[in-house]
Structure 1
């Protein structure tokens, strides 16, 4: 019998430069459309397409196609995808704290899309420091 390491399994599901961002994006907006997401995230069409296919294949995302002209396709999280969001939140918060500890520049978009109170409660000190660095004239 070939045993599967749980850490390897989950990293296979969420590895890829954009997968965690895509999952959070769908969670934040409830659904996404391909072209809008491509523009918003600045990801190439090839990469976005591949990563959405993999997320769908892994059962985390559902692709919904509407028979309209022009064709309309949306992506939503499946219940399995929704179950993963709290773990992604923990990884995001840990990562922001670690970047701040290392004094590494944090992508400004990180604070624009993670606006829910759960992030502010955990990261208020870092967010305030970051905002002060971005706009020192406000001090």
Structure 2
């Protein structure tokens, strides 16, 4: 079954369009993880924890369809690695102030947020949420 976004309303709103692209329990977390490094499916699954394989497959397809991520396969290894596209990097840069605002909001509530560890501790520069 192919992913198709709901048709936009008769009076489309730009913000609602973006929110629709990233809505869901795991999409923003996956974008965050990919902003730190390219990852294989199994690494994304391990870093997200409770997400099922079926749900993760579906949301990765949705993010690919929306051109936020791309898959680069290593044919010899039969392993695909996911990475942010330029469009995905642009979105991550827009989400950084939202993440900072959310961190302040959590702090006001006496809560702290710790970013998930990167897989193998490797990070790539730029585009990180916080």
TM-score range normalised by the length of the shorter chain: 0.7 to 0.9
Instruction: Please give the alpha-carbon distance, in whole angstroms, between the structure 2 residues aligned to 1:112 and 1:66.
Output: 24
Higher RCO (Cα < 8 Å, 6 or more apart): 2
Please, which of 64, 70, 85 is the counterpart of residue 72 of structure 2? 64
* Aligned residue among 95, 101, 111 for 1:94: 101
Larger radius of gyration: 1
Q: Any unmatched runs of 5+ in structure 1?
A: 123-139
Check if 1:41 corresponds to 2:71: no
Rounded Cα–Cα distance in structure 2 between residues aligned with 1:111 and 1:76: 17
Name the count of aligned residue pairs. Answer: 115
CA deviations over 1:68-106 (Å, ceiling 9, x no partner) = 2x5111111111001111111111111110011122x33
Q: Of Structure 1 and Structure 2, which has the larger fraction of its residues in helix? A: 1
- How many Å apart are 1:112 and its aligned residue? 5.2
| TM-score relative to the length of structure 1 | 0.71
Q: Work out the CA distance in 2 between the residues paired with 1:83 and 1:32.
A: 19
Q: Compute the TM-score of the two structures, normalised by the length of structure 2.
A: 0.75
In structure 2, the residue matched to 1:132 is none
Cα deviation, residue 38, structure 1: 0.7
In the other structure, the counterpart of 2:115 is: 110
Q: Which runs of 5+ in 2 are unaligned?
A: 1-8
1:27, 1:82 within 8 Å by CA — same for their partners in 2?
yes
CA shift for structure 1 position 3: 3.4
